[in-house]
Structure 1
Amino acid sequence: MKKMFILFSLMLAAFTSAQNQRFIYEYKFIIDSTAKDKQESETMYLEVNSKGSKFYSKDYFVSDSTMQAIVAKDTQSLNINLGNFKFKGKIRYNIEKMYPEYSTNFFTTLGSDEYQIQEKRMQNWKMLPEKEKVGEFNTQKAICDFAGRKWTAWFTTDLPIQDGPYKFYGLPGLIVKVEDNTHSHSFELKGSQKLPAGYEWKSTKDKERYRTLIVINEAKFKKAFNDYRMDPMKNQKQMLAQGTIIEMRDSTGKILDPIQASRDQEARAKANIKKQNNILELDLLK
């Protein structure tokens, strides 16, 4: 009985230490399947506390916070100027999982529209006996099919929290590494740090925004996603058709013809979208 109590106490201490932590992952990805030598990477944060977890890009979060501060300041003077502001970070989505159900919400943007997608899919993991050392952790292997890809994960019971990077969760320990079978998308734990004192959970859905957040299910988002890929400038075209004046300037400050500038912007957007043929959730393209 005493041994069982000691074991339970150790497990509780390990679980508690996993709470209020920021786990730092390196995300490596190849978006264009025709340029497999052009692997990109981004630092991602998985923040875990008693309510749930948030997963997002470090650089994009800093840029978004900076932009919000500029807008708040300039709004008071009625002169909002974001002309020289440039976002950092390639990953513009973030993911929230609420404990204990692990209900998952995916927040992303298409053009100027921001979406909240209520995720209903789950990963049906198959745990395998293979063990491997990943960084400082002893891990076990698990596999699943998810979002049009086959995934291999390595999880550790040293951190008994059933969470992981991106939308992955449901194993009896933190997912330390997960990679798809084409080796074009992978997340690997690189470090951790305690969340700042006074950390407060704030959902993305509650942040201040100037356009209404669009809350939809997976099927409707898939349609919106592919509609955007077909016509990425639809919203701007509608604004121009309604008589909205959109002022665009070149790098020298010269005012551009809005119609021609919009056409040039559309051409660039479509060229960029064409290269995005190897996105993480392949089933969105099918």
Structure 2
Amino acid sequence: MKYYLILFVIIYPNLFSQIKFNVDYEADYELNYRDMNTPNALVAKTTFALLLNKNESFFKNMNKYILDSLVYEKKISYSGNAYQDMKVTEKYYSDFPETIGTTSAKMYISLPIYNKNFRYEEPNAINWQLFNEFKTIGKYKCQKAIAKKYGRTWIAWFAKEIPFPFGPYKFSGLPGLILEVSDERKDYVYTMYSFRKRKYTCNSANMYKDSKLVDKKKVFDFKRKSMQDVNKFKQIIDDPEIIKIVTKEAPKMAKSYNPIELSIY
């Protein structure tokens, strides 16, 4: 509970609104990841929803997908008190609070930092190299592709049978849906476990209100930096025991943090 509060304070957003998204299909992914670069680092798991239509996609963590829907439907409301709201939303916590919209030309990323919301844009330009290697994932024949991006080498498997040039996280631009993608070290491994036709409007696709447009450099690696900013916690947490834990552990966590993006490009 105490560690959850520490992380909740980092990403707690207090402003919400909605951007709608027209959904024709949904692909769901499991992510196995190691976000700490330490010996015998534990592998954590979480899931994501990739909402699709022929022109664009929208990617968000499944817990956030559910939470945002409940907030939009007014089944959950925020009081403005971080601790009280944490108790209500604890089971929906995610290490991945960002939302990612992708078109053929650009990616649009929104995310909270402390109690403010930001957004940045990136060109959708991954230079994939295709290989004449194939494997079956579920019922789909998939082809191999490799690209260097964000400081890692990524191996993707895509299915031409599903003619959408999208995939999990920021991975797209292949002649078929990406069903699996991982870095060479397998610190981050996305695998699709469900694909189905949908036909609805997701009213809570992006719930970050009044997000400030910034250069990616302004928000890159914010989590590592925020891990070391003990003063931010002191403004909200008045429990001496938690402050003591934060002060001792924050520098270690920041140094060992292993984000999905090791570099901006």
1:106 aligns to 2:109 (yes or no): yes
Structure 2 unaligned segments of length 5 or more: list them.
Answer: 1-22
Q: Does the CA-based 8 Å contact 2:48-2:60 persist in structure 1?
A: yes
Counterpart of 1:274, as a letter, is A
Q: Is the 8 A contact 2:124 2:173 kept in 1?
A: no
Distance 2:185 2:175 in 1: 25
- What pairs with 1:176-255 in structure 2 (closer than 5 Å)? 176-195=179-198, 197-200=199-202, 204=206, 207=207, 209=209, 212-222=210-220, 227-231=225-229, 233-234=231-232
Distance 2:231 2:115 in 1: 10
Matched residue type, 2:121: Q
CA separation in 2, counterparts of 1:109 and 1:223?
13
1:93 is aligned to 2:98: yes
Q: Provide the residue aligned with 2:263 in structure 1.
A: 283
Cα deviation, residue 155, structure 1: 0.7
Deviation at 1:164, TM superposition (A): 0.6
The counterpart of 2:176, out of the listed 173, 177, 195, is 173
Q: Which residue of 2 aligns with 1:62?
A: 66
Unaligned runs of 5+ in 1: 1-18, 241-245, 249-255
Percentage identity across paired residues of the two chains: 21
> Residues 79-126 of structure 1, C-alpha deviation per residue, up to 9 Å, x if partnerless?
x9536322433322221113xx34101222232232212123621101
Q: 1:283 to 1:20 in 2, by over 3 A?
A: same
Kindly tell me: are residues 73 and 25 of structure 1, through their superposed partners in 2, closer, same or farther at Cα, counting changes over 3 Å? closer
Residue in 1 that maps onto 2:131: 128
Question: Secondary structure, in 3 states, of the residue corresponding to 1:61?
Answer: helix
Computed over aligned residues only, the root mean square deviation of the Cα atoms, in angstroms, reads 3.2
Deviations, residues 158-198 of structure 1 (Å, cap 9, x unaligned): 01111111000111111111110001111111112332x43
Q: Kindly indicate whether residue 157 of structure 2 is the aligned counterpart of residue 159 of structure 1.
A: no
1:261/1:114 CA distance change after superposition, 3 Å: farther
**Relative to structure 1, is the Cα distance of residues 81 and 59 closer, same or farther in structure 2, using a 3 angstrom cutoff?**
same
Q: 1:281 to 1:74 in 2, by over 3 A?
A: closer
Distance 1:138 1:92 in 2: 32
Q: Cα–Cα, structure 1 residues 124 and 262, in superposed 2: closer, same or farther, change >3 Å? A: same
What's 1:25 paired with?
Answer: 29
Higher relative helix content: 1
Deviations along 1:16-35, whole A, 9 cap, x unmatched?
xxx71110111110111214
Letter in structure 2 aligned against 1:128: F
The aligned amino acid for 2:97 is R
- Pair member with larger Rg: 1
Q: Deviations over 1:44-100 (max 9, x none)?
A: 11010245211111112223444563664869xxxx9536322433322221113xx
Q: Which amino acid letter does the alignment assign opposite residue 136 of structure 2?
A: K
Counterpart of 1:47 in structure 2 is: 51
Are the structure 2 counterparts of residues 152 and 232 from structure 1 closer, same or farther at C-alpha, using a change threshold of 3 Å?
A: farther
Matched, 1:116 2:119: yes
